Amino acid sequence: MDLMLILLQAATDLASFAKMSAGLSAAVVSIAAAFGIGIIGRYSVESIARQPEAAGDIRSSLIISAALIEGVSFFAIVICLLILFV
């Protein structure tokens, strides 16, 4: 609750509030993407350790999933930057 009051006091007009929210949104997107890719990596290494003969299939699925997550996060960051500068 205190954080919201501080943010509302800092944002005196709509433009500064939009810039502040765009920066926070970009940070949240980056953290969420890193967390998701970390979870995918963790479980794929774990599954390769359990079944080494399926390492190629698991690795290719890992790379595809990580690339899709990065693509979505880059798109979200671009949208946040457009909000920031437009």
Diameter of the chain measured on Cα atoms: 60
The pLDDT tens digits for 57-85 are: 999 999 999 999 999 999 999 998 888 78
The pLDDT tens digits for 22-56 are: 888 888 999 999 999 999 999 999 999 999 999 99
Give yes or no for residue 1 having a pLDDT over 70. no
Residue that the structure tokens 């003969």 belong to: 53
The answer to whether 12 and 63 are in contact (CB under 8 A) is no
| pLDDT for res 21 | 82
- Report all structural domains of the chain as residue ranges with CATH numbers, in order of start: 2-85 (1.20.20.10)
Structure tokens at 36: 């998701």
- Which residues are CB-contacts of 35 (< 8 A; sequence separation ≥ 6)? none
The answer to whether 51 and 44 are in contact (CB under 8 A) is no
